[in-house]
């Protein structure tokens, strides 16, 4: 608990309309997409970088934890005040400060909503590729903290690949800037990359310079249906290794498709085992050429069927199914244990088969979908917290999945981050020496462990 | 000076054929492409990771500096033993351990020569894009240390974009591994990116897992000649911002072209002010489509002329001119002050004009060439160290160039690294707080400042 005078000091420094300690505010900022809840002591809405500096000064003086927060839609608990303290919300710092076609970049505040940036860029004929499923609500600041990915990251890379420069405050109160307005930059240690994906534990980002691309003139979306999970996974693998170079290669298993059909009140084709979405983008001839190569792969894979979406409206219809998976499966069981493991792209069919056999062996409902194109398999264990036996079985299965992922050269998380939820498994991926190095780096940036404590390690 | 017994201890631990303290060895490993010379106390050729561990143990015990070295072709002094000590040469650790088409990756030792990896990849239908001009001699370890770029990095990104995982030894003797065999990975702090470009000052890399791409089926190379430097620079800028998306966009000014002609015994067209190389790659239809777009840009730019190279032999002929620039201009004057500044892509014509006017104002020979497509302008001040006046003028001009680069959002170095040569200018790009953060991070990895001391900051 922080003292009343600390709240008063905050109000004095940043202004009354930005500081709240009422219970309804504390509750509203106590949870994120994990479903976990931790009540903060106060919520502050930053409106400018001076507010951030002031909150840091107050936290440092009184030894109060500080938790930066964007839209609070993260899946790993990164925005939760596990030790109480102040939640610093960035949704009011949401200006696109510059958007320059000649330099192919945008300068934004951390509270800009991802899709707002994409739309502003598109109006200028430009393209900001990172597209987490939450893009209509998530903020750039949250995307930076978790190094968010998304379907198009297969071809275009993750958030970090678009960060040219970052401005941030250290817990010492000093403002730092890393990076430049150029694509290449090897001056000094790459602290820009260190801050990206550091889950708000090293510094508080207040401004980002992001790289934009020319907008691809054309896009086509295809849906290819398969009778079995394995056939779909093999198709994905062949498309990656060939010369199709899709911009999207998304996968949905039968449970995902069934859940979406139930959600949308439709009937599912009983033969259907999996569906793959493939997007191709580029110039007209380029798209036509890649489509020919894709059709060869489709023919060789002998699918149940395939759809081709040419207009934006047709494409949106196919996308709707994919975007509905997450909310639709949430209705299958009271709780979704939501993992985003990644395996090397040649190991996808093997990993999918392994998870399937575990689901059978332990009588668990496991829903698989996601960005199979880059090996990122969203693995959802659907459970009932009141069923102790099922919870125990889920725990065993999760443990086996993580162990296997690491054995075959994969990683615990592709885009959600570690936060609270995957923290217990860090020892599978990192040695004590590596974890100790993380802790020592954290100490350089935040010697008093005030910035988003209790996360990652 | 290290003591005789330290040399004996090294020999005892790694074997006689790997340790040398004879003067001819020390001389041979005292310099790099900067022309600076610093004599080490001993040279050790690592053949396996146990050798690296043993050398680190000896250095730590006796407080001896350790300088990792690849081919020694760096432009910033990264491989120089400025405080003496042991130069640890990696050229014998040159095995490609795995090259997997199904997982699109290679696992290599640091001594593998860049072009050897490219050729091995191409044989498997794969592509390792980073292509520093020194690729036929430079090692992957050196490329990692400096985060090397090259012409194709315009489309494909720099060395760091292809690093999936690194194994390295800390100066504590502990072995660490960061990254995975997957493209996406957000588990823990991104120490893989921190090590890349850290110029051998944080850890000694002993193994790298590198991402490979499917080999683009087709390539075309074009050379477009212009009457003036500015016309060439404007053409470059329009091509970047349009939808050509070239894989290469290289620039040569009149002095570069003149030097190459002299070198090759040919006569230069007196009207020629600059030449631009443009490469397009991809599928057949894609290349044809992009070529059409390029031809529109070429027509609009009203060049002096243009050449089109279709066969690999024709392309190699055009490349030869570009690759000859560096050795050819070295003959213009006794000393080449070789910088690799980067400016935002919209500021290229402005920066080129600024440098040109400085050259006139200070009567200096400045040769400009390089990867203009990503704003990376190789700026070569050609001087005679015996001409004190010229050296003083070069110093003033260099200072003005660096100040302007930082003012307009650029960076001191795009691919060569800071090392010794750009260290005096770090204060232009970084604040005291930022430099202090670098020093504190260095201390976490290397508390006794034994690993490649005296570099960067």
> B228: domain CATH number?
3.40.462.40
Q: Which of B100, B193, B437 is facing A190, going by the closest CB pair?
A: B193
Structure tokens at A183: 């694509």
Neighbour count for residue A249 (Cβ, 10 Å): 24
Q: Is B76 exposed, middle or buried (0-12, 13-18, 19+ CB in 10 A)?
A: buried
Q: Which of A180, A191, A346 is facing B437, going by the closest CB pair?
A: A191
pLDDT score, position B293: 94
Contact present, B253 and B274 (Cβ < 8 Å):
yes
Q: Tell me if residue B7 falls in helix, strand or coil.
A: helix
Structure tokens at A222: 């295809």
Q: Which residues of B touch A242 (CB under 8 A)?
A: 214
On the question of pLDDT at B74 being above 80, the answer is: yes
Residues A148 and A179 in one domain: yes
Chain A interface test: which of B186, B193, B447 (most A C-beta within 10 Å): B186
Q: Is residue B429 part of a domain?
A: no
Question: Can you say whether the dihedral through the CA atoms of A130, A134, A140, A142 is positive or negative?
Answer: negative
Contact present, A413 and A429 (Cβ < 8 Å):
no
Residues A17 and A105 in one domain: no
Query: Which segment of B173-187, B231-245, B302-316, B342-356 scores lowest on mean pLDDT?
Result: B231-245
Chains A & B: contacts with CB separation below 8 Å: 282
CATH number at residue A14: 3.30.43.10
What are the pLDDT tens digits along chain A (457 aa)? Answer: 788 999 999 999 999 999 999 999 999 999 999 989 999 999 999 999 999 999 999 999 999 999 999 999 999 999 999 999 999 999 999 999 999 999 999 999 999 999 999 999 999 999 999 999 899 999 999 999 999 999 999 999 999 999 999 999 999 999 999 999 999 999 999 999 999 999 999 999 999 999 999 999 999 999 999 999 999 999 998 998 888 999 999 999 999 999 999 998 999 999 999 999 999 999 999 999 999 999 999 999 999 999 999 999 999 999 999 989 988 998 999 999 999 999 999 999 999 999 999 999 999 999 999 999 899 999 999 999 999 999 999 999 999 999 999 999 999 999 999 999 999 999 999 999 999 999 999 999 999 999 999 999 9
The whole-angstrom separation of Cα B422 and Cα B437 is 18
Contact B176 A429 (CB under 8 A): no
Residues A402 and A266 in one domain: yes
Contact B286 A284 (CB under 8 A): no
User: What is the predicted ipTM?
Assistant: 0.95
* CA neighbor of A417 nearest in space, from A32, A55, A128, A119: A32
- Strands annotated E in A17-101: 19-20, 42-45, 66-69, 86-89, 96-100
Cα A99 to Cα A115, B244, B374: the distances in Å are: 15, 21, 18
Q: Could you tell me how many residues make up chain A? A: 457
Q: Which residues of B touch A375 (CB under 8 A)?
A: 182-184
Q: Compute, in degrees rounded to 10, the torsion defined by CA atoms A440, A442, A446, A450.
A: -120
Residues A236 and A352 in one domain: yes
* CA neighbor of A393 nearest in space, from A341, A337, A339: A337
Q: Is residue B322 part of a domain?
A: yes
Q: Tell me if residue A34 falls in helix, strand or coil.
A: coil
Contact A433 B175 (CB under 8 A): yes
Residues A153 and A62 in one domain: no
Contact B286 A282 (CB under 8 A): yes
Q: What count of Cα atoms within 13 Å lies in the side-chain half-sphere of residue A176?
A: 25
Residues A148 and A266 in one domain: no
Contact B196 A189 (CB under 8 A): no
B309: which residues sit within 8 A by CB, 6+ positions away?
B220, B221, B222, B223, B315, B317, B318
CATH number at residue A121: 3.30.465.10
Instruction: Provide φ and ψ at B11, rounded to 5°.
Output: -60, -45
Q: Tell me if residue A205 falls in helix, strand or coil.
A: strand
Final residue of a structural domain among A191, A214, A237: A214
Whole-angstrom Cα Rg for chain A: 22
B275: which residues sit within 8 A by CB, 6+ positions away?
B223, B224, B225, B226, B232, B251, B252, B257, B321
Final residue of a structural domain among A89, A116, A140: A89
Beta bridge partners of A253: A274
A234, closest residue in chain B (CA to CA)? B102
Neighbour count for residue B123 (Cβ, 10 Å): 10
Question: Can you say whether the dihedral through the CA atoms of A314, A316, A322, A326 is positive or negative?
Answer: negative
Q: Which residues of B touch A174 (CB under 8 A)?
A: 433
DSSP letter assigned to residue B202:
S
Q: Compute, in degrees rounded to 10, the torsion defined by CA atoms B374, B380, B381, B384.
A: 170
pLDDT score, position A67: 98
pLDDT band at B241 (very low <50, low <70, confident <90, very high): confident
Chain B interface test: which of A102, A130, A189 (most B C-beta within 10 Å): A189
Number of domains in chain A: 3
Residues A129 and A82 in one domain: no
- State how far residue B271 is from chain A, nearest Cα, in angstroms: 29
Q: Is residue A443 part of a domain?
A: no
Q: Which of A185, A194, A410 is facing B190, going by the closest CB pair?
A: A194
Chain B interface test: which of A76, A102, A175, A188 (most B C-beta within 10 Å): A188
Q: Is residue A448 part of a domain?
A: no
Q: Which residues of A touch B289 (CB under 8 A)?
A: 283-286
The whole-angstrom separation of Cα B2 and Cα A451 is 44
Q: Which of A191, A434, A441 is facing B444, going by the closest CB pair?
A: A441
Question: Can you say whether the dihedral through the CA atoms of A156, B150, B274, A104 is positive or negative?
Answer: positive
Contact present, A40 and A85 (Cβ < 8 Å):
yes
Contact B375 A183 (CB under 8 A): yes
Final residue of a structural domain among B47, B66, B89: B89
Contact present, B71 and B31 (Cβ < 8 Å):
no
pLDDT score, position B421: 92
Q: Is residue B337 part of a domain?
A: yes
Q: Tell me if residue B351 falls in helix, strand or coil.
A: helix
Contact present, B130 and B159 (Cβ < 8 Å):
yes
The whole-angstrom separation of Cα B342 and Cα B325 is 19
Residues B110 and B152 in one domain: yes
Residues B249 and B329 in one domain: yes
Mean of all residue pLDDT scores within chain A: 96
Place of tokens 């054929």: B17
Q: Is residue B432 part of a domain?
A: no
Which H or E run includes A285?
Answer: helix A284-301
Residues A133 and A198 in one domain: yes
For residue B35, give its domain range. Answer: 4-89
Contact A181 B410 (CB under 8 A): yes
Q: What count of Cα atoms within 13 Å lies in the side-chain half-sphere of residue B295?
A: 9
pLDDT score, position B243: 81
Contact A434 B241 (CB under 8 A): no
Q: Is residue B420 part of a domain?
A: no
A250: which residues sit within 8 A by CB, 6+ positions away?
A151, A276, A277, A322, A369, A370, A371, A372, A373
The whole-angstrom separation of Cα B53 and Cα B62 is 14
CA angle in degrees (0–180, nearest 5) for A116-A121-A124: 135
Residues A198 and A310 in one domain: no
Contact present, A411 and A429 (Cβ < 8 Å):
yes
Q: Which of A184, A197, A426 is facing B342, going by the closest CB pair?
A: A184
Structure tokens at B231: 């016309």
Kind of pairing between the strands at B42-45 and B86-89: parallel
Cα B156 to Cα B216, B247, B373: the distances in Å are: 12, 7, 12
Contact present, A206 and A167 (Cβ < 8 Å):
yes
DSSP letter assigned to residue B346:
G
Q: Is residue B430 part of a domain?
A: no
Contact B188 A430 (CB under 8 A): yes
pLDDT (tens digit, 9 = 90+) per residue, B253-301? 999 999 999 999 999 999 999 999 999 999 999 999 999 999 999 999 9
- State how far residue A17 is from chain B, nearest Cα, in angstroms: 32
Q: At what angle do helices A432-445 and B432-445 cross, to 10 degrees?
A: 160
* CA neighbor of B179 nearest in space, from B119, B100, B96, B105: B105
Residues B168 and B270 in one domain: no
B179, closest residue in chain A (CA to CA)? A411
A290, closest residue in chain B (CA to CA)? B283
């Amino acid at each position: 608990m922080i003292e009343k005078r600390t709240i008063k000091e905050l109000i004095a420094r940043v202004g009354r309309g930005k500081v709240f300690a009422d219970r309804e505010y504390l509750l509203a900022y106590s949870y994120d997409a994990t479903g976990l809840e931790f009540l903060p002591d106060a919520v502050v809405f930053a409106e400018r970088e001076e507010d951030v500096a002031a909150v840091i000064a107050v936290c440092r003086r009184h030894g109060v934890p500080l938790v930066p927060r964007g839209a609070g839609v993260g899946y790993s608990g990164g925005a939760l005040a596990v030790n109480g303290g102040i939640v610093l919300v960035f949704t009011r710092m949401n200006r696109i400060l510059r958007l320059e076609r000649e330099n192919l970049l945008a300068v934004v505040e951390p509270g800009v909503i991802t899709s707002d940036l994409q739309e502003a860029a598109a109006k200028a004929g430009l393209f900001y590729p990172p597209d987490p499923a939450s893009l209509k609500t998530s903020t750039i600041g949250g995307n930076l903290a978790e190094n968010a990915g998304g379907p198009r990251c297969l071809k275009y890379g993750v958030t970090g690949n678009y960060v040219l420069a970052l401005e941030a405050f250290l817990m010492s109160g000093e403002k730092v800037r890393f990076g430049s307005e150029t694509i290449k930059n090897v001056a000094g240690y790459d602290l820009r990359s260190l801050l990206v994906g550091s889950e708000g534990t090293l510094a508080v980002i207040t401004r980002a310079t992001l790289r934009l691309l020319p907008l691809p003139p054309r896009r086509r979306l295809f849906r290819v249906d398969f009778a079995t999970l394995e056939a779909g996974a093999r198709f994905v693998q062949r498309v990656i290794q060939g010369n199709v170079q899709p911009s999207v290669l998304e996968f949905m298993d039968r449970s995902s498709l069934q859940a979406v059909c139930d959600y949308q009140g439709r009937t599912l084709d009983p033969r259907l085992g999996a569906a793959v979405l493939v997007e191709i983008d580029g110039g007209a001839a380029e798209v036509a050429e890649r489509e020919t190569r894709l059709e060869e792969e489709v023919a060789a894979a002998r699918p149940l069927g395939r759809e081709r979406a040419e207009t934006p409206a047709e494409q949106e219809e196919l996308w709707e199914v994919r975007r509905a998976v997450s909310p639709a499966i949430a209705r299958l069981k009271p709780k979704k244990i939501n993992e985003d493991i990644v395996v090397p792209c040649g190991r996808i069919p093997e990993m999918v088969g392994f998870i399937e056999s575990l689901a059978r062996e332990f009588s668990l409902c496991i829903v698989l979908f996601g960005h199979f194109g880059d090996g990122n398999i969203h693995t959802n264990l659907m459970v009932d917290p009141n069923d102790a036996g099922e919870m125990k079985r889920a725990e065993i299965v999760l443990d086996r999945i993580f162990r296997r992922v690491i054995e075959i050269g994969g990683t615990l998380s592709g885009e959600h981050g570690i936060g609270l939820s995957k923290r217990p498994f860090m020892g599978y991926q990192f040695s004590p020496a590596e974890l100790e190095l993380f802790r020592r780096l954290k100490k350089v940036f935040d010697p008093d462990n005030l910035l988003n404590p209790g996360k990652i390690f």
